[in-house]
Structure 1
């Protein structure tokens, strides 16, 4: 029997990918170039790593809908921050050309102020949402 994911997991995956694409569009519109997407280490993942001039930004993307226990900008726990920091350090060790860059950690959040049907494939761009880009959201 095939391994079936619950509908809400599939929905969350689609919403997450949409949010990452939107965040990347925002970053590129501000002159940043994608270095790598979904960079993994054994301790964690960074959604987007972008660069502009001598600046390197590690970006966490969050999206939440009404009914979530908190707004998108409130859900990055200290333990998650530590994992992102360790993954960023791993990235810098693996790609030493970026070690001289100014590095920061940003969070880009998308909050949908209404419930979204979990069984329908959505074009999230057509729905109303609030977007927030938090620069220097946390530090080493």
Structure 2
């Protein structure tokens, strides 16, 4: 199903200029397009819409050890709650932790890389409020964290 994520501000990369009142179209696991709400509504009529307050951009790469938690699944979920949908391979120091990351479709990278919203790329998005708190994380097109 195609979803258009709308936000007060969209950033293709966290160091890029913001697109005020922007939108990102996600089809399945991939980004279909980035633009204004009007452009994406015209291009994808009938798409489901999800409105987010704050700033929407690419999900982050978690570069350090995963947060402590009782189980590998909870450690991976703690990363998702921070707005990250990728971790560095050296930080997955047990087979159980690596399996939990892969089960949750978290990207496992050999090294850090800049995150960006690009058509055709993985639909890994994060939404942050004005204080920098993560409001939502989308990992390969699936909403995996939402702060209430």
TM-score normalised by structure 2 residue count: 0.23
Question: Rg bigger for which structure?
Answer: 1
Structure richer in strand, relative to its length: 2
Q: Which has the higher helix share?
A: 1
Query: Structure 1 length normalisation: TM-score?
Result: 0.24
